[in-house]
Each structure stands twice: as structure tokens, then as C-alpha cells.
Structure 1
Amino acid sequence: MEMKMSCVCLVLGLVLLMTISSDAEPHGAGHPVLCCFSFSNIKIPPDIIIKVEKTPSECPKPGYVVTTSKSKFCKHEINGLAS
């Protein structure tokens, strides 16, 4: 029984060591982080917009990420902003 427990502890320790020393990235190498999968139709007043970024060409749907002080919105086009 002691032999089984020491083997289990050794295997768990090795798995923990492999997990800690892993070079894996959360999104993988070269994967765009900023993609839109659903889009908002609300009008956003220009005075609350902090930043507008075009999504990378690798994203499945083209669009723009509009950042305000409270949230981020995905828009199909920038013409949809409030005037």
C-alpha cells in the first residue's frame, strides 16, 4: 500500500511541475485577442469614447471595438456612433 501511495504522490508532483513550467500561452501564439463575435446596435455618444480599434483581419467577423470608460462594444461600422 505504501508503494502505491508514493507512486501516486510522485505522479501528482510531476504533473504539478509540468503545469508550472509550461510555456503555453492563454490564446496560443499569434492568436488575435481582440475579435468580435456579436455586435451592438446602440448609439454611442462620441464624447464618452476613449478608443476605437479595428479588429485584426484574422478575426472571423470584421468590426470595431469601441472602448468607453464603463465598457467595450463591438460595432460593424464606426458610422453607427451617435452624433
Structure 2
Amino acid sequence: MRASSLCLVFGLVLLMAWTPEAQPVAAAVPERCCFNFIDFPIPTDKIVSALKTGSKCPAPGVVVTTKKPLEFCVKPDEEWVKKVMNNLETV
């Protein structure tokens, strides 16, 4: 009796692990979000890319990558960020 109960529990756990509902949904998680923002401009000649964060992030942001390569989160409404974004779009 005890062995059959153990097999039943093990079988149910195994079944739950194989069902799609038990799998985490990775598509709902944004790739990159900014939580801390720098408060100084980065020289334009040091920037190689600037990517907007996803719409599911708690705050809008831009991830700026430098030549080093280092990544910084900046606020998209700052003037120097807007200029960088425009310059990178026209290149």
C-alpha cells in the first residue's frame, strides 16, 4: 500500500513537470530593463550603440554601450540622449 502511494505521488509530480502549464513563460520577461540611471552625459564619440528598453519595463530607459564596452542606463527624455539616438539612426 505504501509503495503504491509513493509511486502515485511520484507519477503525479512527473506529470506536472512535463505539462506546458508547469513551464515558466520566458516570453513575458523583457530582455533588458533599467532600474538605475546615470546623471551625466557620455561623450558621443565613445558611444557605439543605444537601445530603448522594452515596453514591459517599469521605467522607460535607453541602454547606451560604449567602446570599452560598458553599458549605462540613461533617461530617454534627456536632450543629449535624444541627439545620440538621432545620430545613430542616421548612420
TM-score in same-fold range (> 0.5): yes
Q: Percent identity?
A: 39
Q: Which runs of 5+ in 1 are unaligned?
A: 1-22
TM-score (norm 2): 0.53
Alpha-carbon distance in structure 2 between the residues aligned to 1:40 and 1:64 = 11
Tell me which of 52, 55, 58 is aligned to 2:53.
55
Question: TM-score scaled by structure 1?
Answer: 0.58
- 1:67 maps to 2:41: no
Q: Is the 8 A contact 1:55 1:64 kept in 2?
A: yes
SS of residue in 2 equivalent to 1:52? strand
Cα deviation for residue 27 of structure 1 reads 8.5
C-alpha distance in 2, partners of 1:41/1:27? 31
Q: Distance in 1 between matches of 2:34 and 2:42?
A: 17
Quick check: which one's helix share is greater?
2
Q: Which amino acid is 2:52 matched to?
A: K
Equivalent pairs, count = 77
| Secondary structure of residue in 2 paired with 1:43 | coil
Aligned-residue Cα RMSD (Å) equals: 3.2
Find the aligned partners of 2:61 and 2:50 in 1 and give their Cα distance: 10
Structure 2: state its 5+ residue gaps.
Answer: 1-22, 85-91
| Structure of greater relative contact order (alpha carbons < 8 Å, 6+ residues apart) | 1
How far the C-alpha of 1:66 sits from its partner, in A, is 0.2
